[in-house]
Amino acid sequence: MDANVTYRLRKSYAFKGIVILLSVTCIVPLLFILGYIVKEGVTKINWELLVNLPKPVGEAGGGIANALAGSILIVLIAAVIAIPFGVMSGIYLNEHRNNRLSRWTAIAVDVLQGTPSIVVGIVIYFWLVKPLKTFSAISGSVALAIMMLPIVIRSTEETLKLLPSTLKEAGLALGLPYHKVILKIILPCGIGGVVSGIILAIARIAGETAPLLFTAFGNPFFSVNVLKPMESLPHLVYYYAMSAYDDWHNLAWGAALVLLIWVLLLNIITKITTRKWKIQF
């Protein structure tokens, strides 16, 4: 009996060791990759990188200013589009749990969430790029907004679901109209969760390239015209990394580090917002 127990205990400890080993092993490539990006990119980051435009091959200098501005603009517009639609849908789904529209909309949200990013890109190509006969930043923003939508809707719905129902009742019993109860009581009480959902959605799409390949496309020049093609940070990394030129590779390393920092910052902000705004009742 004793030998059996010892054997089983040994197996149990060994298993724990294996589990820890497996887990720590996943982290190793991650750290290695991050370290490599930092190593390659840090020497390339300087003021010039951030304010210059990409130069043709062979010329020194060159920067990613167009991609920086482009990314910020495209993501901003995407957020502006996605937030009202996402929050309102989230409110609706929370208020009406049982009717047909909300059940089908919930499925639609799942479908949108599962759609591969490249497919989003090609659909928007047919909706906005072909009719307007040009690639455009706005079409890129629409594609990114569609990818943000499920995240914003879900997190709004989940946040509002946590609020006690007596909150809404108290508001209605005061003779307040429905929209005031929702917008001035329910939404403010859940604003922390809603905002962190929004920031999470932004963090997820900030690094996306595939939806932009056939929508915003890319642009070697500095542009803030949303109706014309616009460069973005992830796209620049892709384009220049795949090129054959060392100069452009260098640019891509710098851009990759900037992109990494940007995405990490957004993720950290998400975490801070989520923790800070835990709803207390």
Partner 1 sequence: MIESATIDKQTSHSDLVLEDVSYLNRSIRIWKEVKFKSTDKNIRTEKMFRGSLVLISLSVLVLAIAFMLTLVVQSIPSIKTLGIKFLFGKTWDPVTNTFGAIPFLLGTLITSFMALFISIPFSFGVAILLGEYFPKGWFSDFMKNAIELIAAVPSVIYGFWGLFVLVPLVRSIEIKLGVAPYGIGLFTSSLILALMIIPYAATLGREMIRMVPSSLKEAAYSLGATRLDVIRTIIFPYAKSGLFAGVLLSLGRALGETMAVTMLIGNTSLMPTNIFSPGNTMASVIANEFTEAASTVYLSALIELGLVLFLVTVVINLIGKKIIQKFSVG
Partner 2 sequence: MENTILKVIDFDAYFGENYVVKKVNIEIPKNNVIAVMGPSGCGKTTFLRCINRMHELVEGASSSGKILLNKDDIYDIHPIYVRQKIGMVFQRPNPFPNLSIYDNVIAGYKLNGIKIVKHERDAIVEGSLQKAALWNEVKDSLHKKGTFLSGGQQQRLCIARAIAMEPEILLLDEPTSALDPISTSSIEELFQELKKNYTLILVTHNMHQAARVSDRTAFFYLGELIEFDDTKIMFTNPRDARTQNYITGRFS
Q: Does 274 bind partner 1 (CB under 8 A)?
A: no
Q: Does 138 bind partner 1 (CB under 8 A)?
A: no
Torsions phi, psi for 164 (to 5 deg)? -70, 145
Q: State the Cα–Cα distance between residues 73 and 151, nearest whole angstrom.
A: 20
Helix (H, G, I), strand (E, B) or coil at 137: helix
Question: In the range 168-197, which residues lie near partner 2 by CB under 8 A?
Answer: 169-177, 180-181, 184-185, 188-189, 191
Nearer to partner 1, 184 or 191 (CB): 184
Q: Does 275 bind partner 1 (CB under 8 A)?
A: no
> Per-residue x/- marks for partner 1, 12-51, CB under 8 A?
x--xx-xxxxxx-xxx-xx--xx-xx--------------
Q: Does 78 bind partner 2 (CB under 8 A)?
A: no
Inter-residue contact 260 to 271 (CB < 8 Å):
no
User: What is the DSSP-derived secondary structure letter of residue 181?
Assistant: I
2-31 burial code (b ≥16 CB/10 A, e <16): eeeeeeeeeeeeeeeeeeeeeeeeeeeeee
Inter-residue contact 59 to 248 (CB < 8 Å):
no
Residue 234 interface partner, choices partner 1, partner 2, none, CB cut-off 5-8 Å depending on type: partner 1
Q: Does 4 bind partner 2 (CB under 8 A)?
A: no
Tell me which residues touch partner 2 (CB under 8 A).
Answer: 98, 164, 166-167, 169-177, 180-181, 184-185, 188-189, 191, 280-281
